[in-house]
Structure 1
Amino acid sequence: MTDVVQTFLLAFSALFSIVNPIGAAFIFSQATTGRTHDERSLLARKIAIYSALILLGALWGGTYILAFFGISLPALRMAGGLVVATSAWSLLYAPEQTEARKEEQASHAEGLNDVAFFPLTMPFTTGPGSISVAIALGANRPTGGDLVPFFAATSAAALAVAALVWLAYTWAGDAVPLLGRARARVFTRLSAFILLCIGFQIGLSGLTDYVQSLR
């Protein structure tokens, strides 16, 4: 049970940091200015469902797809850890650039049904960075033994993050002004530091496995 809880916390911290529902809610609020609360709620629900499917697909199938191309698990872990750490570094030292990029992606939002998946889900909410993190987490699965607890914990983390996306986007118009952009950026930097540590941990796990295989 302890391992399951630790796996859940690891996956939740990584996915929450890279998706950043609170920070993204600011941009979602700006991109949906002029829409009614019911329309925002409908969009938020669709985005949350699509985000959950993308994250779960990357968690479950990403590792096996890469393995099909002959990429070893240690190599996948090291590369995934590097991607996670690089994304965290950008969030830590240049969150303004990330916000500007997401604002540009969300600025193309027009029709309610047309934009729920693109661009508001992909790439605005769960873009390449989020997918890379999910694949890296899936690559961190234990070798041997029962994989059900691992995938149950990581899947629960992905669903929890999607649920937070739904809540944050639904109430973005009311909650965002209370928090303020400055406080959101402080929260983003704290989350990015945790994500940076997680990236190094995943990379070190891959390096350790590689060294052991040489022995």
Structure 2
Amino acid sequence: MLSAFSPETALQSFVLALSSLFSIVNPIGSALIFAQVTAHNSHAQRVELSKRIGFYAALIMLSALWAGAPILNFFGVSLAALRIAGGLVVAASAWTLLTVPEAREARKQAEAQGGLPENLAEIAFFPLTLPFTTGPGTIAVAIALGSNRPEASPDRVGFYVGMSLAALAIAVMVRFAYGSADRVVTLIGPVGARVLGRLFAFLLLCVGTQITVNGVTDVLTPLLPPR
């Protein structure tokens, strides 16, 4: 098993997934909203919420990375079609983040505030994990990344190792960013969060474009005459 592991593929996959998931999840920007939404809670309650949200976010991202593409393939969606559609969704989401981030922040704040019950265990998953932290956009990005898996077995092992580690890293960032939301607000501020958000949104736009190109290549390659 270890001989089939490709560290280079794992590193490349880790960097790709980390930049993509960080852009769409935006732990720092979300922490600013989290601080506002949970302003009535104590620091201990926020820390407890952050632990639960980080755990749930990891489960959602890992499930989408590992099982998203096979489930769609079960319903007859080809890998090429999945890459094209997923890439377009990722690119469209990135374009929205890049051009009108304020509208997305307002929507996420409304989602997080909608009907919060008193039980912390209940609000940790819904709405603070889904859809606030890891919503449909994050799931679409994770599925698109998972659909980009290589065909060769050694590379595939490294691919999934790198992708999984990136998802876990994002979940850890969410846990500590949310747990330290007060400090994040003071240290970075809204302007700094928007600057970082737009920087990573551009990277996410490039990732979505590349995934779409890979899908189009998969469709056109069999139709082209052999060289």
Q: TM-score range by the shorter chain?
A: over 0.9
Of residues 67-76 and 131-140 in structure 1, the stretch that sits farther from structure 2 once superposed is 67-76
Unpaired stretches in structure 1, ≥5 consecutive residues: none
Matched, 1:177 2:186: yes
Displacement of 1:178 in angstroms is 2.1
1:76-121 Cα shifts (integer Å, max 9, x gaps)? 1111100000000000000001000011011133321210000000
Displacement of 1:48 in angstroms is 0.3
CA distance in 2, matches of 1:190, 1:177: 21
Query: Structure 2 residue aligned with 1:127, among 131, 135, 143?
Result: 135
Partner of 1:11: 17
1:38-97 Cα shifts (integer Å, max 9, x gaps)? 100000000000000000000000000100111111111111100000000000000001
Give secondary structure in 1 for the equivalent of 2:132.
coil
TM-score, scaled relative to structure 2: 0.92
CA distance in 1, matches of 2:199, 2:58: 24
- The percent of aligned pairs where both chains have the same amino acid is 54
Residue identity in the other structure for 2:195: V
Partner of 1:110: 117
Specify which structure has the higher proportion of helix: 2
Matched, 1:30 2:67: no
Displacement of 1:188 in angstroms is 0.5
Matched, 1:82 2:88: yes
* Bigger Rg, which one: 2
Q: CA RMSD in A?
A: 0.9
Matches within 5 A, 1:134-149: 134-146=142-154, 147-149=156-158
Moved over 6 A (4+): none
Count of residue pairs the alignment pairs up: 215
Residue identity in the other structure for 2:142: A
Matched, 1:58 2:64: yes
TM-score, scaled relative to structure 1: 0.97
Checking the alignment, whether the CA contact within 8 Å between 2:28 and 2:184 is kept in structure 1 is no
